[in-house]
Amino acid sequence: MRLNAGKKLTPALGALLLLVRAAPALAQIGAPASPQVTFASVSGIPLQSVSGRFHSLAPPNRLNCRYSTVTGRVVSTRLIMADEMSCGQAETRNVLVNVQLSNPADAMQMVVGRRIVVKAKFQSAEEHRDAPFNAFFLIAENAELVSGDPPDRSAPPALAFTSYMTCQPQELDALASRLGSDLCVQSTLVADLAVTGPALEAAARAPMNVSPADTVSGDSNAITCRPDLEHSGLHLRAIACARNSYWAWYKAKWRDRSFLMPAPP
């Protein structure tokens, strides 16, 4: 039974619950449709890694950064892509920074594509992954918007210029329940479910037996899913779904060490 919305889990307890249901979810990949499953609610907002490939509720090993302000483009109400920020990680340009606003009302100013300057207490975090590398996170705590391009309220919403993986999006709770598995999905697919929903569900019901680091032939805009053994979230064993162009980006990133190239939308 799903917990009542008013009852929140601590990140540690939420992680434990996710870990408990990890193995059965993986075993069901490629199997016939499972009975509907309900997942426990997890409190907290996942933080995105600098590339957006991974997320974590509470990445450890936090260190203070030397920055007081950072300039970048808005990706979402909680993310900016910084022009440059070096705080212990290999990537220094075009890195995602998690923005934790001190004034929630400022979220209205986080217009996709808008260039802004953020003042905050900046921290980095580092989380070990199963593969032989660590995931890095950049966080702007108690963030304030110092300045930014004047937002044009009369203009249509800006199109996404990059994307990231998001796990357990509420919009896909029903689909995850029918599949009996957690889902990690490219953010731009979740943002346009009216268009992407049917193809996304079809792909999630028939995940390909390839890893996230493999590319497949065909339309670059086509949606494909695969077992996410590399963990989009540290405690998740999930099905990961994205456009083929995203998987090609991910493979090229590690093959060519092209860490500064943002993910495709």
**Domain count of the fold of the chain:** 2
Residue 87: pLDDT over 50: yes
Q: Does residue 77 sit in helix, strand or coil?
A: coil
Looking at 101, 121, 148, the residue that finishes a domain is: 148
Is residue 111, in this structure, part of any structural domain at all? yes
pLDDT of residue 229: 72
What is the maximum alpha-carbon separation in the chain? Answer: 53
Residue 257: pLDDT over 90: no
Residue range 222-245: average pLDDT? 80
Is residue 165 located within the same domain as residue 40?
A: yes
Distance CA 227, CA 214 (A): 11
Handedness of CA 67, 77, 245, 226 (dihedral sign): positive
pLDDT of residue 18: 38
pLDDT of residue 31: 44
Distance CA 256, CA 49 (A): 19
Is residue 210 located within the same domain as residue 247?
A: yes
pLDDT of residue 218: 87
Q: What is the pLDDT of residues 176-229, one digit of tens each?
A: 888 888 889 999 999 999 999 999 999 999 999 988 888 888 899 999 999 887
Share of residues in the chain with pLDDT > 90 (%): 52
Is residue 2, in this structure, part of any structural domain at all? no
Is residue 250, in this structure, part of any structural domain at all? yes
Domain of 65 in residue numbering reads as 47-148
Residue 158: pLDDT over 80: yes
Is residue 199 located within the same domain as residue 239?
A: yes
Q: What is the pLDDT of residues 116-155, one digit of tens each?
A: 999 999 999 998 876 667 889 999 999 999 999 987 777 8
pLDDT of residue 259: 66
pTM for the whole structure? 0.80
Is residue 156, in this structure, part of any structural domain at all? no
pLDDT band of 37, cuts 50, 70, 90 = low
Residue range 63-69: average pLDDT? 95
Residue range 7-15: average pLDDT? 38
Residue range 225-244: average pLDDT? 77
Q: Are 190 and 199 in contact (CB under 8 A)?
A: no
Distance CA 180, CA 28 (A): 7
Is residue 40 located within the same domain as residue 55?
A: no
Looking at 148, 181, 210, the residue that finishes a domain is: 148
Q: Does residue 149 sit in helix, strand or coil?
A: coil
Q: Are 177 and 169 in contact (CB under 8 A)?
A: no
